[in-house]
Chains A and B, each alone.
Chain A
């Protein structure tokens, strides 16, 4: 049996799982996954699992970059140490709902309820071959809904594209760039107009101006008013 185990490990490029759910992959497998998931996501943009896989297999440059940005920032560094997770089980929904209007916590809960989404639907990483980077991409996924809240964008196609543009500028993740570039394919001409003339320039400007959004310990700022947090990060008011 020892021989066969080594056989298997050889096939995967000589690696062992580094975290629960980790599937070690060879460079060839990653390339095939990246291509396959890109096609699958283009064909059916509701295949969130494929978008996730694309992010993981193409993030080899952007993820270490993000991790370093977090390491060199006091709040980001704390996040990397403490590894907070945003899940229904960790959120005190009742308390957040009770917060005054305009605060991050209240508006976040409002966003979740209005759009009928849950923080628990984010895919856990599988193909990232570094345990810390796996957390970084997980964190990026879990704060996605907070991005929606801060940018005031709904979860329809248009809103998602706007958030993707913002994230593309912020993170440099190829998956965001691809999503930002190809997302608009699914929009009507009227929406494309709005996107191009108002929303995109604002999203890109905000993305450039803002500090790294992964460096905010959101769980400790539920009481902070959204407007004040926007100012602090450097996101311009939505049009």
Chain B
């Protein structure tokens, strides 16, 4: 009983089970190895495609300008990274169009030259580093990037959110979408986020949160526990990973508690925005 627990290490949770931290890390590793190939299909099925909107809102809120250096942690299959690239690309295009409009008296040679230069810089030096702890997820992400034609401005790094392989003060923005819930020591991940951000940098977290409306909450619970594991079994042949998923959502701290944790890590101007009545929340903070 408790003697064994003391010997094995600090206790934590895996969904609704009680496990050691080491066991939790291993179990979560197995979950993501198992779900990686069907991750995107499952996300679409479980959320009826709405996860795409949530991710769009995150990048809209980020409103990155060309030249931004983004670190997307637990970025696995690349959803945030690709949206970031699309966004800065379109912002850049608009910049270039505006610039051309103001240079009405250029010669044809000068205009052609500026086209050439800009073509080589369609992202305006923006870059995204996708960091994930799981090799399978990174693999799926890289293949997806190839299939969708994303080549420049992306790097893929294997790393742990609790101990990032990056120097201090490096990034303009740090995002973690539907990932922090799977981190074993959230406080460490938040402190790492603070460390690697430049002064003035922004922390953005998109994550499942608590629904306060009682009726919606009951329906949400019913859907989560009755339907989602079934979807996992039918689509991916994997009930247990999706059972873990819905349990882990219930385990994650509510909006205000998480806000306090972010403040503890040193961030200022921390606030959150509920999406769909709190099914999902975006937390934001700044390093000053």
Rounded to whole Å, the gap between the CB of B21 and the closest CB of chain A is: 15
B16 at the interface (CB under 8 A from A): yes
A26-B226 contact given A7-B16, A8-B16, A8-B247, CB 8 Å threshold: yes
CA distance A94 to B269 in the complex (A): 74
Q: Which chain A residues numbered 33 to 65 have a C-beta less than 8 Å away from chain B?
A: 33, 36-37, 39-40, 49-50, 53
Partner pick for B229 among A1, A29, A49, CB 8 A cutoff: A29
Partner pick for A36 among B16, B225, B231, CB 8 A cutoff: B231
User: Are A11 and B234 in contact (CB-based, < 8 A)?
Assistant: no
Overall SS of chain B's interface: helix
Q: Which chain B residues numbered 106 to 132 have a C-beta less than 8 Å away from chain A?
A: none
User: Are A36 and B230 in contact (CB-based, < 8 A)?
Assistant: yes
Instruction: Give the most central of B13, B17, B231, B233: most A CB within 10 Å.
Output: B233
CA distance A40 to B226 in the complex (A): 18
B237 at the interface (CB under 8 A from A): yes
Rounded to whole Å, the gap between the CB of A174 and the closest CB of chain B is: 17
Residues of B within 8 Å of A36, CB to CB, are 230-231, 233-234
A93 at the interface (CB under 8 A from B): no
Residues of B within 8 Å of A23, CB to CB, are 239-240
User: Are A40 and B16 in contact (CB-based, < 8 A)?
Assistant: no
A32 at the interface (CB under 8 A from B): yes
Residues of A in contact with B (beta carbons under 8 Å apart) = 1, 4-5, 7-8, 11, 23, 26, 28-29, 32-33, 36-37, 39-40, 49-50, 53, 126
Residues of B in contact with A (beta carbons under 8 Å apart) = 13, 15-18, 225-227, 229-231, 233-235, 237, 239-240, 247
Residue pairs across A and B with Cβ atoms less than 8 A apart, 27 shown, are A1-B13, A4-B13, A5-B17, A7-B16, A8-B16, A8-B247, A11-B225, A23-B239, A23-B240, A26-B226, A28-B226, A29-B230, A32-B226, A32-B227, A33-B233, A33-B234, A36-B231, A36-B233, A36-B234, A37-B233, A37-B234, A39-B234, A40-B234, A40-B235, A49-B237, A50-B234, A53-B233
